A and B are shown apart, each in its own frame.
Chain A
Amino acid sequence: MMALNIPKNKTPIAEQEPEIRNHNFKEVVLGYTLEEAITESNRCLQCLTHPCVAGCPVSIDIPGFILSLRKNDLGESIKILKSYNNLPAVCGRVCPQESQCEGKCTVGLMKDHEPVAIGKLERFVADWAASHEEIEESPQLVESETKGKVAVIGAGPSGLTVAADLAKRGYKVKIFEALHEPGGVLIYGIPEFRLPKTIVKREIRAIEELGVELEKDVVVGKTLTPEELKDEYDAIYIGTGAGTPRFMNIPGTNLNGVYSASEFLTRINLMHAYEFPKYDTPIRIGKRVVVVGAGNVAMDGSRSALRLGAEKSMIIYRRSEKEMPARIEEYHHAMEEGIEFHWLTNPIEYIGDENGNVKSVRCLKMELGEPDASGRRRPVPIEGSEFTIEADTVIEAIGQTSNKVLLSAFPELKLNKRGYIEANSETSATSVEGVYAGGDIVTGAATVILAMGAGKKSAQAIDEYLGSKKKA
């Protein structure tokens, strides 16, 4: 195959130096230049099987957008991207490409070759489009007759996707958001240095320009009841996210200085605590920070702690490096920035000082036993392995469970064993007619792109449902 002479490695991308970036909240990855992006696009084989597309939860025509980019037709390239994905600048930055499109890439399967940097190319095209907004065609709004009214609960990735797709199909859509800013996890969870908020705001503005209406400060279940929404709208989509933090529930959990990652990151990202006192919301940061868990949220927490001035930021994880759920790029960035990893380590107690502040973490060493329900080897405590790590801030990043605020106000809605909404995996339909649900409130904490994928399918299903209802 001719293509064998393509460069083995991805075109390098500019990044802030680790020892500089771990003191600021600016974006780590700086992005490709046009020249670099075209060079990288030439690594794509344009293979006929394009397995990358199957690896994408929203089935983006990846070879198509890359081919247009290669031809330097960026207007066409963004059009292709946007026809599949309403948030390309976000996905280019936060998708776990290594287990999706890039994981399937034909180039990556060749000996010693890295896959095409699909995520970085997507980001490049989306960022280019944002700085050339006049090129983007203004969307065609269906003004006169709408096909129906749809309420979307939650302005996170899945809700925004449903809203945009239905607006494009001619529905009148209104999103109700509980917080004071739309974006969900993109705003309160993922830090600025990984996903600048201006980018999220820009992509949300584009969705609003499709005619989607957004009302903040509405907690459905409290500010409005599901009944009221059912009366006013033809269909409802629930995308409220996973939304309530889990705690280790070990002694000392309520000491001062012990945070859930949700609180720690919400203070920083949504409330701008890293700009205190310019912004009013404070955060406490100690000299030595321990983060419990090794997912993306844990990486975000430990890296944010460094940026806030912690001298040492450590991650402790009860399994080993191999089972770590974080995106590989975040793990690498965290290591470069000096995060210390303690594998096979589990906290059993937080010890406080006389003022109720956490001062250390008592831990056990673990070893891996037989595989558990998740298919990963189960961590088992090693007897007599107890030891203590000094820490004045602890952040628990061990996952979430479903938030009950909406669910308890909507008892007809059937839940699954884990307490999430039961929804059809193809249509996102719930047990209540006309009510659909997707994203983390159905799957439990997952990724931005999976939530968007659910949103896409749901928009299709809602369109079909309302279409058939009209005919009937």
Chain B
Amino acid sequence: MFEILEKKQIVPKEYDMWVKAPRVASHVKPGQFVVVRTDEKGERIPLTVADFNREDGRIRLIFQTVGKSTYEMSKMNVGDFLADVVGPLGTPSEVKKHGTVLMIGGGVGIAALFPVLKELKKLGNKVITILGGRTSDLVIMKDECAEYSDELIITTDDGTAGIKGVVTDGMKMLVERGEHVDYAWAIGPTIMMKFAALTAKDLNIPIWVSLNPIMVDGTGMCGACRVTVNGNIKFACVDGPEFDGHDVAWSELMTRLKQYKDQEKISLEKYLTEVGEM
């Protein structure tokens, strides 16, 4: 059992939690994730570790309510216990001194980008960060990312902050002004990562993306999370979650993410009815 130590809602539908998980906290590296089960009847859901404190044995999970499990988790409070938190899982990010790195984040993916960005900064890279969202209020962790970035660019669809546009507009702007980028990371909604990868290809920038397919065990046992990368089947849970963005079969990934759409709807509606929010 894993105790919730802190919890707050950061934007509508997104929550920020610190959880006691000493074994995870002492071993986790940027880019890794945990599998969480809220209770005895729960699903196993993968969540990226957004931050950690090895001394206090705690990890930070930032998540968006999308289905039953995350809704249920959002209803849990400080002092409650998650049934299971297992990890750290997956292969850590390849963080080293690259030179100039471009960190692109969108939606709740910004939380997954943050520990990688922080580590890259500590390793002496020049960090340029682009955070995108529909509107200014939905762009999370601006201040925290700014703290570890040499430059922070915001893009919003409605122009309420930064550049009016999407993250790829920010990417192009940087290159146009003559910025040389040695490596890029894009973490966010699949569609954002796809277009960031396509733009990076045009701009001749190598790019890592962090994939979020459906998982069950998260340890390579089942193959639910298989993705095609460079023509080969890879398991995102052990071979990833980060892959070379130029090699990912994006449309297949997006199709596979919809695999349980109907069941997810049934499950969420049943839950919302039970808690009286339907």
Q: Which residues of B contact A224 (CB under 8 A)?
A: 23, 27
Q: A284–B263 contact, CB under 8 A? A: yes
Please give the distance in Å from B255's CB to the nearest CB on chain A.
4
Q: Which residues of B contact A225 (CB under 8 A)?
A: 27
Please give the distance in Å from B97's CB to the nearest CB on chain A.
25
Q: Which residues of A contact B238 (CB under 8 A)?
A: 404-405
Q: Is there a chain A Cβ closer than 8 Å to B115's Cβ?
A: no
Q: Is there a chain A Cβ closer than 8 Å to B106's Cβ?
A: no
Q: A245–B223 contact, CB under 8 A? A: yes
Q: Is there a chain B Cβ closer than 8 Å to A178's Cβ?
A: yes
Q: B217–A280 contact, CB under 8 A? A: no
Q: Is there a chain B Cβ closer than 8 Å to A59's Cβ?
A: no
Q: Which of A216, A249, A280 touches B43 (beta carbons < 8 Å)?
A: A280
Q: Is there a chain A Cβ closer than 8 Å to B246's Cβ?
A: no
Question: Whole-angstrom distance between the alpha carbons of A355 and B43 in the complex?
Answer: 25
Q: Is there a chain A Cβ closer than 8 Å to B240's Cβ?
A: no
Tally of chain B residues near chain A (CB < 8 A): 43
Please give the distance in Å from B65's CB to the nearest CB on chain A.
14
Contact with A along B101-114 (1 / 0, CB 8 A): 00000000000000
Q: Which residues of A contact B252 (CB under 8 A)?
A: 254, 356
Q: Which of A217, A223, A249, A262 touches B27 (beta carbons < 8 Å)?
A: A223
Which stretch from B155-163, B185-193, B264-272 is at the chain A interface?
B264-272
Q: Which residues of B contact A179 (CB under 8 A)?
A: 217
Q: Which residues of A contact B69 (CB under 8 A)?
A: 280
With A180-B37, A253-B233 given, is the CB distance from A263 to B87 under 8 Å? no
Q: Which residues of B contact A9 (CB under 8 A)?
A: none
Q: Is there a chain B Cβ closer than 8 Å to A219's Cβ?
A: yes
Tally of chain A residues near chain B (CB < 8 A): 42
Q: Is there a chain B Cβ closer than 8 Å to A276's Cβ?
A: yes
Q: B259–A244 contact, CB under 8 A? A: no
Q: Is there a chain B Cβ closer than 8 Å to A403's Cβ?
A: yes
Q: Which of A222, A256, A262 touches B259 (beta carbons < 8 Å)?
A: A256
Q: Which of A261-288 contact B (CB under 8 A)?
A: 262-263, 266-267, 271-272, 276-284
Q: B216–A282 contact, CB under 8 A? A: no
Question: Whole-angstrom distance between the alpha carbons of A356 and B259 in the complex?
Answer: 9
Contact with A along B218-231 (1 / 0, CB 8 A): 01111110111000
Q: Which residues of B contact A301 (CB under 8 A)?
A: none
Q: A262–B223 contact, CB under 8 A? A: yes
Q: Is there a chain A Cβ closer than 8 Å to B16's Cβ?
A: no
Question: Whole-angstrom distance between the alpha carbons of A224 and B21 in the complex?
Answer: 12
Q: Which of B24, B27, B89, B260 touches A284 (beta carbons < 8 Å)?
A: B260
Which residue of chain B has its CB nearest to the CB of A177? B86
Q: A266–B222 contact, CB under 8 A? A: yes
Q: A256–B255 contact, CB under 8 A? A: yes
Q: B260–A263 contact, CB under 8 A? A: no
Q: A217–B84 contact, CB under 8 A? A: yes
Contact with A along B137-157 (1 / 0, CB 8 A): 000000000000000000000
Q: B216–A271 contact, CB under 8 A? A: yes
With A217-B85, A254-B252, A284-B260 given, is the CB distance from A279 to B41 under 8 Å? yes
Q: Which chain B residues have a beta carbon within 8 Å of chain A's beta carbons? A: 23-24, 27, 37, 41-44, 68-69, 83-89, 216-217, 219-224, 226-228, 233, 235, 238, 249, 252, 255-256, 258-260, 263-264, 266-267, 270
Report, nearest first, the 6 A-B pairs whose CB atoms are least far apart: A282-B263, A356-B255, A263-B222, A217-B86, A280-B43, A260-B223
21 pairs from A and B in contact (CB 8 Å cutoff) = A188-B217, A219-B89, A223-B24, A245-B223, A247-B233, A254-B227, A254-B233, A262-B221, A262-B223, A263-B216, A278-B41, A280-B42, A280-B69, A282-B263, A283-B263, A284-B259, A356-B252, A403-B219, A403-B220, A403-B221, A405-B220
